[in-house]
Chains A and B, each alone.
Chain A
Amino acid sequence: MIALEERMAAALAALILDPVAPQARHIAVGAASPIPAAACWLVKKLGHPVRLSLLHKHTGNPFTAGTRELFDLTGQGRIDLFFLGGGQIDGQANINLIGTGDWPGTGARFPGSFGSAFMYLMTPRTILFREEHSRRVFVPRVDIVSAPGVSAPGVFRRGTAQALLTGRCVFRFDAARARFTLASVHPGETAESVRAATGFDYDEPAEVPVTQDPTATELALLRGPVCDEMLETYPAFCRRVWGREAKEQAA
């Protein structure tokens, strides 16, 4: 039995290792991102040389100049890949972390943009990630743009979304056309079920492949050494997905 979280982590790892994309030597992962964190650890445990900066890991946090250092590094182009999500994401890869309705979120107010308005433009590669795949999340047009999917010519921008991973499928993003293409559907989903759950328009190939299962090696790594690395920061996730309890918290 392969958990959806394991499938998503393995699919993200495959996107990170995409041979067509520029190599990710330094990846940063934000706070509420256990599945992207698992994917990054999987890449590392598979033996690929990658530097991971996990923002909310207590031990091993590499930043000695405070939280500002992440943004300074990214400003210089020293972070190759970052993950972003959204309360809403639309077909042009605009993300909304502020809220629904009118400014500043008169419908449902989300927490806020965090660093996204900066990171999305300054990182060469962004992988969008949102487990909930529904018309509530994937909308024709976000109500509020926290960070734009594409920018006008002349605006300094290092990269855009590479892909969008959801609980149902993988989309690839073509920045030149500002449009997603369905790349694969997870087992149990079809092109039709994904279309029905998606509020924005996108392209799809005649034959839609199924997202590859994690290999036996990947599953063993996820359930062993990857979980070991994640216990401290994501105890609830490790308990839920792998049935592992964190050791007594350090005093």
Chain B
Amino acid sequence: MALIPLEDLAAFVPDGALLALPPDNSLTPVAFARALIRAGRRDLRLLGVPVSGFATDLLIGAGCVVSVQSSGVSLGEAGFAPRFGAALKAGRISMTDATCPAIHTMLQAAEKGVPFMPLRGILGSDILAHREDWRVVDNPFAEGGDPIVLLPALSPDIAAFHAVMADRDGNVYVGRRHELATMAHAARRTLVTVERVTDVNLLEDERLAAGTIAATYIEAVAVAERGCWPFALLDEYPADAAHVAEYARMARGDEGFQAYLERYVLVAPARAAAE
């Protein structure tokens, strides 16, 4: 496995990449997003799996993003995502709306290597009317008159998340967050930050193996302590709601957001990553 410094992990992401990110409550790679900002990435196309939050808003505010596909972009309890709203209004980003199970289904199609998968619901939603890549067909297994939506397989260029730990072979532990496994299976490359590296082989322990994504799917791993901060990492540490509220306040305006970047993002890379 390639265990590399956090800043080097950012180098795996080319400008213009389709980058899949989990939401705030599901192992969000915030330290990695900060590294992408420091690396000056541009024109990223972000995919929320299945929704987007803080890391997406941060990347948009820093000018790294050209488009977002997601089922929702918000800061949860802290309210609307301010930089997303401002960038959309100013026409600096384009938005492709989806609905949560559709994003899961498109990734599941990619993980199975099939060109599309059907999904119930959605019919009558304006989302469908604005998705030229989604089709409606008549269910071929019914007697007719049963329209159903077909969704194309979607393979992100990069999937990124923050896991609890990696072992020496590059297997990573995500607990019950199995949608991250689908994301990793579907993506061309998966980049992972972790709290720590363990000497235990995660696949040799039956209890840990069930929550482990095998190194087969992992391109590179970097250590980033408190890599989800200001969000929770499973039972490792809780969310820092006060910090998210501070961000929501500061990021309302351009100047406040710049001040936030200077204070919390454009500082020296995480000490842990260099170790």
A residues with a Cβ closer than 8 A to B are 31-32, 56, 58, 63-68, 71, 75, 97-98, 103-106, 109-122, 144-148, 151-152, 154-156, 236, 249-251
Contacts and interface: CB of A to CB of B under 8 A. Distances in A.
A63 B180 CA distance: 14
A122 B126 CA distance: 17
Interface of B: 25-26, 50-51, 70-74, 76-77, 80-81, 84-85, 88-89, 95, 97-102, 104, 119-128, 130, 145-148, 176-182, 232, 235, 237-238
B136 to A, nearest CB: 10
Main secondary structure of the interface of A (DSSP, over half): loop
Contacts of B127: 98, 113, 117, 146
A145 B125 contact: yes
A111 B121 contact: no
Nearest to B48: A112
B273 to A, nearest CB: 24
A114 B99 contact: yes
B126 A144 contact: yes
Contacts of B85: 109
B123 A66 contact: no
A48 B76 CA distance: 31
A112 to B, nearest CB: 3
Contacts of B51: 111-112, 114
27 contacts: A58-B232, A66-B26, A66-B181, A68-B101, A71-B104, A97-B72, A98-B127, A103-B126, A104-B88, A104-B97, A105-B88, A106-B89, A110-B80, A112-B51, A112-B97, A113-B127, A114-B99, A115-B100, A118-B102, A118-B120, A121-B121, A145-B124, A148-B123, A151-B123, A154-B146, A251-B237, A251-B238
Contacts of A112: 51, 70-74, 97
B123 A146 contact: no
Contact of B120 (A32, A56, A121): A121
A151 B124 CA distance: 7
Contacts of B88: 104-105, 109
Given A66-B26, A112-B51, A121-B121, 4 more contacts: A68-B178, A111-B74, A156-B146, A251-B238
A105 B147 CA distance: 28
A119 B50 CA distance: 14
